[in-house]
Amino acid sequence: MSEIHQTSSVSKGCFVFKSASKKRKRHVGVGGYVVDDSEDNGSDRFRICQKLWETVQMNTEVIQDQLNKKVLDSLAEFVKKHGLGCSSDVWRQRASEIPTAALMLGVNVPDHAMTFRSLCNLLQDSVTPYVVSVHAKECAAVKLLIQKVIEQLMGRGVSVDEEQEDDTALLQKTLCTISALCQWYKTVTKKCTQVVSERTENLTNYDSPQSLPVVVIFKDFEAFNSHVLQDFILICSRYTQELPFVFIFGIATSPSAIQHRLPHSVSSLLCIEVFHSLLCTQHLASVFDKLILNSQFPFKLSSRVIQVLVGIFLYHDFSVQNFVKGLQFSMLEHFNSQPLSVLCCQKQEALLSAKTLSKQNVERIRHLPSFMRYVETQEPQEQVQLLTSDEHVKEVCQKLLKNLHKYHKNYCPILQCLHSLTSSLPKFPLGKHIRELHVSCIEKNLWETEEYDSALQLLRILAKDELVGGLRKCAEILKSASAKRMQNVLQQLEDFIGRLEALEGVSSEDSSENGVISAKMEYQRTDLFHLQKTLLEKESRRAKRMNPFEVLRSQVIEFIDSLVREYLTPAELQPLSEVCYYSSAGVLRQRLNVTPRTSIQAALSHPFYYLQNESLKTNTGTISSAAPDLCIVYKLHLECGRLINLYDWLEAFVTVMSATEDQDADSEECSNFDSLKHARFIQAVSEMEFLGFVKSTKQKTDHVARLTWGGC
């Protein structure tokens, strides 16, 4: 027992005494939650998953920086041009106008944070240390907006000595005005000349610290109160000669949002230039190429999982960051639910892991559907060895893993080549984006589809220039491939390109024939019958006799078709594909594409699904008295119409609660217990109203109106 503190007080009360000794909580890392079972290799799977997770994070950031480099560099150059003292040379603007950049980011709001973070870092490193970023939720009034700007600026610019920091703290508490900011800016630029010169050694556009602009970034421009924006712009426009303000508006919709939120009297004070970021669909295509269609990235997604992730992207938020989070969640689910995911790693590491597979994991391999299909194709003696000898299974597993990695190395370049050839065809028979072609390839035999046949027919009528251009793109793709077989394919493509370029005067005979036919049709009258007859005769002559270009074009298309049939086979036909491919699309949809109302209704209708209590198991259409009061009231309200009589509802509730009790209805104990049930019923109805299932109505005072229909 701890020591009891004695107190003296003239009144009764509750006193709180904090413990003198504070025990620090022991921090448990993520790896501490992984059970290190030698049979399941939990720690190894976690290590591999963490390594792949870091790879995804790094590649995503690199892609984001590469795609945003152009627009960010343009913004940095824009800010550089409008430092104090040089804006009049660049823009012929009035003294009260504030340079403003309207950055069009698109509706993918979750991706904006990373873009603004990169922009702030770039501006602080290469342009000016005075960069402020504000959110609408933090700036409900002009005073709060000015206070936020001053706090961020003084926190960044004042770090020279303690005396200056004390003055800044006092200034932040007492004088949160733009005039105080002007005085601080003058003081800082005078006292920090040496510090600023060290930070701007690499800057060529600025000779003195006074030329550094003050950048204010409005991250979510549409969410700001229009009156707050108007007042802030009007105030800042009065100090443009003392403070070189530069505004950056983050806009998700269109440039017209500025006109809608700001009147002409305010927008005329801004000198606006519009900057457009890359489309989110192009960003997704880059992420798809670098992560999912990368043969060096061992983790793969099945066709249905890709369709779920892409569907959420296209129909919900257009957020690439959420798409990457879905990929990471799929990775976690795969490594958590699949013990054989210990083999989902780089080739050499996977081969080493295959040599040390436990007996339980060997048995799991035997039960894989793809491995069972592989066993069925082997000779009877080999089948016996695979079903009885664990060591033989390990050897075969190493061989199959090599084949699986080789399949991915050959699959990705051929897929990109086929997409480059077919992406420009009319009506896009194989899809406009490579992800559509990838989904078609991994879920079925592509060459058995009507879309593939129509694509080949269109390729067979390509002109010489179009065909040569497409083959050159394929050659560029294959040059970066590391597989030996792809180098042989590259040599054959280059041979076809050389033979096509060597052809001259290919269509001279055809053009002469066309000229004769057109001349005949020009100088003599004809009807539809004779025109059709003439065209059929021309087509029959061409079918009988093919020129050299048509023969060579036919050979090229047959070569492309043979590559597709050899290398673009469905992934599920590859043995051990379950090791690398995550296919639980239902789990992913349930976790990412949630529907709150459906989840609430499922919980109220089937509480056992969430509580896992055996007493809550009931047959369909029955109501258990052991269920929570809210569940009972919800199920009873499903049996009612538009208006629910509260007394009848209470009677039904009491009947369900008393179904398993044997008490005298006239006894005092039963009467008291009914009062308790009445209170529980009132609480349950209040919760139903809070969840939005019922509401009070003025039509009848003792009734409530039902708001939802079609419950579970």
Euclidean distance between CA atoms 345 and 503, whole angstroms:
48
Q: For 206, left (φ over 0), alpha (ψ -120 to 50), or beta?
A: beta
Euclidean distance between CA atoms 272 and 35, whole angstroms:
58
Measured in degrees and rounded to the nearest 5, phi and psi for residue 262 equal: -120, 130
Please tell me whether residue 61 adopts helix, strand or coil conformation.
helix
Write down the pLDDT at residue 5: 52
The pLDDT of residue 111 is above 90: no
Structure token pair of residue 182: 């002007």
Please tell me whether residue 697 adopts helix, strand or coil conformation.
coil
Q: How many helices (H) and strands (E) does the chain have?
A: 32, 10
Helix (H) or strand (E) holding 388: helix 380-388
Structure token pair of residue 656: 């369900």
If you ran DSSP here, which 8-state letter would residue 273 be given? Answer: E
**Are the beta carbons of 694 and 706 closer than 8 angstroms?**
yes
Euclidean distance between CA atoms 622 and 630, whole angstroms:
15
Helix (H) or strand (E) holding 359: helix 359-366
Structure token pair of residue 303: 């066709």
Euclidean distance between CA atoms 321 and 60, whole angstroms:
9
If you ran DSSP here, which 8-state letter would residue 313 be given? Answer: I
Write down the pLDDT at residue 108: 86
Q: For 41, left (φ over 0), alpha (ψ -120 to 50), or beta?
A: left
| Tens digit of each residue's pLDDT (9 = 90 or more) over 191-239 | 655 554 555 454 444 445 556 889 999 999 999 999 999 999 999 998 8
Write down the pLDDT at residue 519: 41
Please tell me whether residue 670 adopts helix, strand or coil conformation.
helix
Amino acid identity, position 658: S
Q: For 595, left (φ over 0), alpha (ψ -120 to 50), or beta?
A: beta
Q: Which of 338, 342, 308 is nearest to 326 (CA)?
A: 308
User: Tokens 């058995």 correspond to what residue?
Assistant: 448
Write down the pLDDT at residue 223: 92
Q: Which of 445, 449, 456, 462 is nearest to 418 (CA)?
A: 456
**Centroid of chain to Cα 638:** 38
Amino acid identity, position 289: D
Give me the mean pLDDT over the 258-271 stretch: 91
User: Tokens 């109203």 correspond to what residue?
Assistant: 689
| Tens digit of each residue's pLDDT (9 = 90 or more) over 491-511 | 999 999 999 988 865 444 443
User: Tokens 């139903």 correspond to what residue?
Assistant: 688
Which residues contact residue 557 at a Cβ distance below 8 angstroms, ignoring those fewer than 6 apart?
456, 459, 460
Residue with the larger pLDDT of the pair 39 and 384:
384
Measured in degrees and rounded to the nearest 5, phi and psi for residue 103 equal: -95, 110
pTM over 0.95: no
**Are the beta carbons of 372 and 607 closer than 8 angstroms?**
no
Measured in degrees and rounded to the nearest 5, phi and psi for residue 273 equal: -130, 135
Q: Which of 267, 331, 322 is nearest to 297 (CA)?
A: 331
Residue with the larger pLDDT of the pair 56 and 536:
56
Surface-to-core class of residue 663, CB atoms within 10 Å of its CB (0-12 exposed, 13-18 middle, 19+ buried): exposed
Euclidean distance between CA atoms 364 and 385, whole angstroms:
16
Write down the pLDDT at residue 375: 93
Helix orientation angle between 548-567 and 450-459, rounded to the nearest 10 degrees:
150
As a whole-number percent, the residues of the chain with pLDDT over 90 amount to 50
Surface-to-core class of residue 581, CB atoms within 10 Å of its CB (0-12 exposed, 13-18 middle, 19+ buried): buried
| Tens digit of each residue's pLDDT (9 = 90 or more) over 659-705 | 766 555 455 555 455 788 889 999 999 999 999 899 988 888 889 99
| Tens digit of each residue's pLDDT (9 = 90 or more) over 401-434 | 999 999 999 999 999 999 999 998 988 999 999 9
| Tens digit of each residue's pLDDT (9 = 90 or more) over 458-482 | 999 889 999 999 999 999 999 988 8
Which letter, b or e, does each residue of 76-96 get, where b requires 16 or more Cβ atoms within 10 Å of its Cβ? bebbbbbbbebbeeeeeeeee
Beta strands in 277-396 (DSSP E): 300-301
As a whole-number percent, the residues of the chain with pLDDT over 70 amount to 79
| Tens digit of each residue's pLDDT (9 = 90 or more) over 564-617 | 999 999 998 999 999 999 999 989 988 888 788 888 888 888 888 888 888 888
516, 519, 523, 525 alpha-carbon torsion, rounded to 10°: 80
If you ran DSSP here, which 8-state letter would residue 6 be given? Answer: P
Euclidean distance between CA atoms 431 and 435, whole angstroms:
8
Surface-to-core class of residue 328, CB atoms within 10 Å of its CB (0-12 exposed, 13-18 middle, 19+ buried): middle
**Are the beta carbons of 105 and 250 closer than 8 angstroms?**
yes
Measured in degrees and rounded to the nearest 5, phi and psi for residue 627 equal: -70, 160
Q: Can you spell out the DSSP letters for 233-297? A: HHHHHTTTTTS-EEEEEEESS-THHHHHHS-HHHHTTEEEEEEEPPPHHHHHHHHIIIIIT-TT-
**Are the beta carbons of 430 and 437 closer than 8 angstroms?**
yes
Give me the mean pLDDT over the 130-141 stretch: 91
Euclidean distance between CA atoms 547 and 43, whole angstroms:
65
Cα–Cα distances (Å) from 651 to 520, 605, 635, 640, 670, in that order, read: 95, 20, 14, 13, 14
Helix (H) or strand (E) holding 694: strand 694-696
If you ran DSSP here, which 8-state letter would residue 584 be given? Answer: -
If you ran DSSP here, which 8-state letter would residue 704 be given? Answer: E
Q: Which of 559, 408, 423 is nearest to 481 (CA)?
A: 408
**Are the beta carbons of 104 and 275 closer than 8 angstroms?**
yes
Q: What sign results for the dihedral spanned by CA atoms 378, 380, 386, 387? A: positive
